[in-house]
Structure 1
Amino acid sequence: MERPDTITMSMRELDRCKVIQAVVDDGLMVWRAAEKLGISKRQVERLVLRYRQGGPRGLVSHRWGQPGHRQLPPGLESRVRGLIRDSYADFGPTLAAEKLRERHGIDLSKACVRRIMIDAGFWVPRKQRPPKVHQPRNRRA
Structure 2
Amino acid sequence: MPVSKEVVREQLRKIGPYHKWFTGKERRALPKIIDEGEVIEFLTSGYDGKKNTVLVVATNRRFMVLDSGIVYGSDDRIFPYGKINSIRGERGIFFGKLRISTAGVSGDDVVISWVRKTDIARMISTVSKNIALAKGE
> For the superposition of Structure 1 and Structure 2, which TM-score range results when normalised by the shorter chain?
under 0.3
* Structure number with larger C-alpha Rg: 1
Which structure ranks higher in relative contact order (CA pairs < 8 Å, sequence separation ≥ 6)?
2
Q: Between Structure 1 and Structure 2, which shows a larger proportion of helix residues?
A: 1
Q: Between Structure 1 and Structure 2, which shows a larger proportion of strand residues?
A: 2
Q: TM-score, normalised by structure 2?
A: 0.23
Q: TM-score, normalised by structure 1?
A: 0.23
